[in-house]
Chains A and B, each alone.
Chain A
Amino acid sequence: MQGEFVGVLLMLALALLIAGGFLLLHRLLSPRRDFPEKLEPFECGERPIVSPKQRFSVRFYLVAMLFVLFDLEVVFFFPWGALFRELGFYGLVVMAVFTVPMVIGLVYEWRKGALEW
């Protein structure tokens, strides 16, 4: 089991090598000609008047919070799914009980308009 992760580590090393090698080669091969107009953030030639370093819209926080809630519940589904035959009818009922609050939460968010964009 531990030995299997040798492959993953080798793959990670190779991926980093590919990415790092490409970036390094690019740095060595590419020209550099900076001037002020080129360096300013691209906004179709206008000087930007609003800085992007501001707070995020709360809508994105809402999606992130929904994601954390649902993804945690989804992780519980994984081992349950793999062991489903052993758990049998009892397992199905237990998971149904577990899912009901999740569905109530989804319906609540839906009615509250949290899913409207």
Chain B
Amino acid sequence: MTIVLLKLIFIVAVIVAGMLPLITWTERKQSAVMQDRIGANRADILGITALGLLHPAADVLKLFSKEDFVPEGANRVLHLLAPVIAIVPPILMLAVIPYGGTYRFGESSLSLVVADIDWGMLYVFAVGSIATYGAVIAGWSSNNNWALLGSMRASAQMISYEVTMGLSLVGLFMVAGSLRLTEIAAFQDQSFRLLGFLLHFGWVQGELLPFGLDLLRLPMWGIFLQPLGFVLFLTCLMAENKRPPFDAPEGDSELIAGYHMEYSGMRFGLFYTAEFLEVPVIGALIATLFLGGWSIPFLSQETIITFVGAGFGEGFATGLCMLLHVASFLVKVVFMIWLQMAIRWTLPRFRYDQVMDLCWKTMLPLSLANVFATGVVVLWVEGLLP
């Protein structure tokens, strides 16, 4: 119980309290760099601006000092409930994401995940689809035509992309053979020979490949085993997040602010927070499923413990290994945040029919084809084809 609480506090402190304010800053600074501007640098305390790092704090203070406003004719209960429903799912998703492996300290073992659920990915999808209600209820309860249009767009977009999101991952489940996130992450902590299939099918005789080609190895990450699945899953998650280029539900130039336009102060702030919070949560999900999770490429846990443990004792080696794994995981999350920001500031907004066409006419057939192509390849490699 205490250990679960400590693990929970760690992940919430790092992602929600640590990364979230930095992301609102990154959003401005990275866009400034990409558009050759200076970016946020005005907020200061006694003349110290600290590269604009005070802006997140200034934002929060400003949101708190704005009027708590409910428009006339709005459903007061639902209007209050909608931002809560929007922010709970991304926080809940953090519960099943492993930010480290399993470590043995003497008799006891420590697994760095808050809740290691058997059907972890199903949990992620179940919790994730609750976020749709936040947007729909917000638009419906506001008694405003723009907000209603925004929430209708949001509901259609989010439920459409959920289908492809599920299908694009089935290929990975087939390869890893599990729905449990800790197992999928641990599965990726190995490497394979890029040309190993030549030996596997007996096209090259012997135990080793000639010309030192054995050294041509890749870590067994989802992105190398399921490249199409990676692209589809990332696209779906970005569409679920409703940030540009998929921001048709709140497109400023069409719907003013979409489903949350009748919100002000911290009620709006919670929608804003939820949207920004989904960026590191998406990063953590992708890192776990496709970028090897906490694993370090070509450096397995046994290797670290054997080499460092010989000199400094096994307990120290295990602790060091744990720290390295958590650091490796966080580096991957930060990389995914950078990638999402780069996509967000590179592509213009899709037209609404383009968003729906991309989902139903391109990505759904592709993800179905990916499932069966993966199936045939897995059976072929295992020699189970008749």
Count of chain A residues near B, Cβ 8 A: 70
A38 cross-chain contacts in B, Cβ below 8 A? 69
A11 to B118, alpha carbons, bound, how many Å?
A: 18
- In the complex, whether B304 has a CB less than 8 A from a CB of chain A is no
Contact size class for B?
Answer: 35 or more
- How many contacts A-B (CB < 8 Å)? 216
Contacts of A10 in B (CB 8 A): 4-5, 8, 114
A101 within 8 A of B: no
Interface presence of A45 (CB below 8 A): no
Min distance, Cβ A19 to any Cβ of chain B, angstroms: 4
- Shortest C-beta distance, A53 to chain B (Å), equals 7
B341 beta carbon closer than 8 Å to chain A:
no
A22 at the B interface (CB under 8 A): yes
Residues in B with CB closer than 8 Å to A78 are: 119, 121-122, 166, 170, 173, 179
Residues of A within 8 A of B266 (CB): 22-23, 25-26, 30
Asked if B66 is at the interface (CB within 8 A of a chain A CB), the reply is yes
**Cα separation A66 to B144 with both chains bound (whole Å):** 27
Q: Which of A33, A39, A63, A95 contacts B72 (CB 8 A)?
A: A39
Q: Are A52 and B177 in contact (CB under 8 A)?
A: no
- Among B216-224, B283-291, B354-362, the stretch that binds chain A is B354-362
Seen from chain A, the residues whose Cβ lies within 8 Å of a Cβ on chain B are: 1, 4-8, 10-12, 14-16, 18-20, 22-23, 25-27, 29-33, 38-44, 48, 50-53, 56-57, 59-60, 63-64, 66-67, 70-71, 74-75, 77-85, 88-89, 92, 95-96, 99, 103, 106, 110, 115-117
Within 156-181 of B, Cβ neighbours of A (below 8 Å) are at 156, 159-160, 162-163, 166-167, 169-171, 173-174, 177-179
| Minimum distance in angstroms from B6 CB to a CB of chain A | 11
Q: Would you call B163 and A15 a contact (CB within 8 A)?
A: no
Are B170 and A67 within 8 A (Cβ)? no
Residue from A1, A27, A81, A95 having most chain B Cβ neighbours under 10 A: A81
Name, among A18, A27, A64, the residue most crowded by chain B CB atoms within 10 Å (CB to CB).
A18
CA distance A7 to B119 in the complex (A): 15
The interface bits of chain B over 121-159 (1 if a CB of A lies within 8 angstroms of the residue's CB, else 0) are 111000000000000000000111111100010011001
Known: A82-B177, A115-B357. 15 other contacts (CB 8 A): A7-B8, A11-B12, A14-B91, A15-B87, A26-B63, A30-B65, A30-B67, A51-B143, A52-B144, A75-B122, A81-B170, A81-B173, A83-B177, A92-B372, A115-B356
Closest A-B pairs by Cβ, 7 of them: A81-B173, A26-B266, A7-B115, A117-B353, A15-B91, A7-B114, A74-B166
